[in-house]
Amino acid sequence: MLILGFESSCDETGVALVDASGSATPRLLGHALHSQIEMHQAYGGVVPELASRDHIRRVLPLTDSVMQQAGLPLSAVDAIAYTRGPGLAGALLVGSGVACAMAMALGKPAMGVHHLEGHLLSPFLSADPPEFPFVALLVSGGHTQLMRVDGVGRYQMLGETIDDAAGEAFDKSAKLLGLGYPGGPALSRLAQQGSPTAFKFPRPLLHSGDLDFSFAGLKTAVLTQVKRLANERPEGPATPQLAAALGLAQKADVAASAQAAIVDVLVKKSMAAIASTGLTRLVVAGGVGANALLREQLNAECERRSLRVHYPELHLCTDNGAMIALAAGLRYQAGLMPTTLSEPGYRFDV
Ligand code: KG4
Ligand code: ZN
ipTM of the complex: 0.98
Q: Tell me, what's the pLDDT at 341?
A: 37
Comparing 32-36, 126-130, 143-147, 233-237, the range with the smallest average pLDDT is 233-237
**Per-residue model confidence as pLDDT tens digits over 203-253:** 999 999 999 999 999 999 999 999 999 999 888 888 878 999 999 999 999
Would you say 304 and 170 are in contact if contact means Cβ atoms under 8 Å apart?
no
Q: Tell me, what's the pLDDT at 182?
A: 86
- CA-to-CA dists, residue 209 to 140, 205, 269, 276, angstroms: 23, 8, 10, 11
- Taken in order 143, 149, 153, 159, is the CA torsion positive or negative? negative
- What is the distance in A from the centroid of ligand 2 to the CA of 110? 21
pTM flag (> 0.90): yes
Q: What is the mean pLDDT of residues 26-35?
A: 97
Would you say 346 and 140 are in contact if contact means Cβ atoms under 8 Å apart?
no
Distance, CA of 241 to CA of 178 (rounded, Å): 9
Letter for the amino acid at 259? Q
Residue 145 scores a pLDDT above 80? yes
Residue 330 scores a pLDDT above 80? yes
Residue 107 scores a pLDDT above 50? yes
Find the DSSP H helices in the chain.
37-41, 48-70, 89-106, 115-121, 166-176, 183-191, 216-229, 241-244, 248-277, 292-304, 321-333
Residue 307 scores a pLDDT above 70? yes
Would you say 33 and 62 are in contact if contact means Cβ atoms under 8 Å apart?
yes
Distance, CA of 197 to CA of 311 (rounded, Å): 27
Letter for the amino acid at 181? Y
Task: State the fold for domain 134-311.
Answer: Nucleotidyltransferase; domain 5 (3.30.420)
- What is the distance in A from the centroid of ligand 1 to the CA of 77? 31
Residue nearest to atom 3 of ligand 1 (CA): 318
Residue 349 scores a pLDDT above 70? no
Mutate to test the pocket of ligand 1, among 218, 288, 298 (most ligand atoms within 8 A of CB): 288
Q: What is the mean pLDDT of residues 101-121?
A: 93
Which DSSP helix (H) or strand (E) runs through 71? Answer: none
The number of the ligand 1 atom at minimal distance from the alpha carbon of 165 is: 12
Question: Which residues are 282's β-sheet partners?
Answer: 135, 309
DSSP 119-167: HHHGGGGSSS---SSEEEEEE-SS-EEEEEEEETTEEEEEEEBSS--HH
Residue nearest to atom 13 of ligand 1 (CA): 184
- CA-to-CA dists, residue 300 to 104, 148, 271, angstroms: 50, 21, 11
Residue nearest to atom 23 of ligand 1 (CA): 184
Q: What is the mean pLDDT of residues 293-303?
A: 98
The percentage of the chain sitting over the pLDDT mark of 70, rounded to a whole number, equals 96
SS3 of 27, please? strand
Residue 337 pLDDT level (bands cut at 50, 70, 90): low
Q: Tell me, what's the pLDDT at 350?
A: 33
Mutate to test the pocket of ligand 1, among 140, 311, 320, 350 (most ligand atoms within 8 A of CB): 140
Residue 348 pLDDT level (bands cut at 50, 70, 90): very low
**Domain ranges in the chain with CATH number 3.30.420.40:** 2-126+315-333, 134-311
Q: Tell me, what's the pLDDT at 343?
A: 40
**Per-residue model confidence as pLDDT tens digits over 158-208:** 999 999 999 999 999 999 999 988 899 999 999 999 999 999 999 999 999
Residue 333 scores a pLDDT above 90? yes
Q: Tell me, what's the pLDDT at 274?
A: 98
Give the burial string for 184-197 (b: 16+ CB within 10 Å, else e).
bbbbbebbeebebe
Letter for the amino acid at 332? Y
* Pairing state between β 134-139 and 281-285: parallel
What mean pLDDT, rounded, does the chain reach? Answer: 93
Would you say 178 and 153 are in contact if contact means Cβ atoms under 8 Å apart?
no
Distance, CA of 101 to CA of 271 (rounded, Å): 45
Q: Tell me, what's the pLDDT at 336?
A: 84
* Pairing state between β 154-160 and 308-310: unpaired
Residue 347 scores a pLDDT above 80? no
Residues with CB under 6 A from ligand 1: 10, 119, 140-142, 167, 170-171, 182-185, 188, 286-288, 290-291, 318-319
DSSP 310-322: E---GGGTSS-HH
Residue 342 scores a pLDDT above 50? no
**Per-residue model confidence as pLDDT tens digits over 49-72:** 999 999 999 999 999 999 999 999
- The CATH H-level (homologous superfamily) assignment of domain 2-126+315-333 is ATPase, nucleotide binding domain (3.30.420.40)
Ligand nearest to the CA of 324: 2
Comparing 232-246, 317-331, 335-349, the range with the smallest average pLDDT is 335-349
Residue 345 scores a pLDDT above 80? no
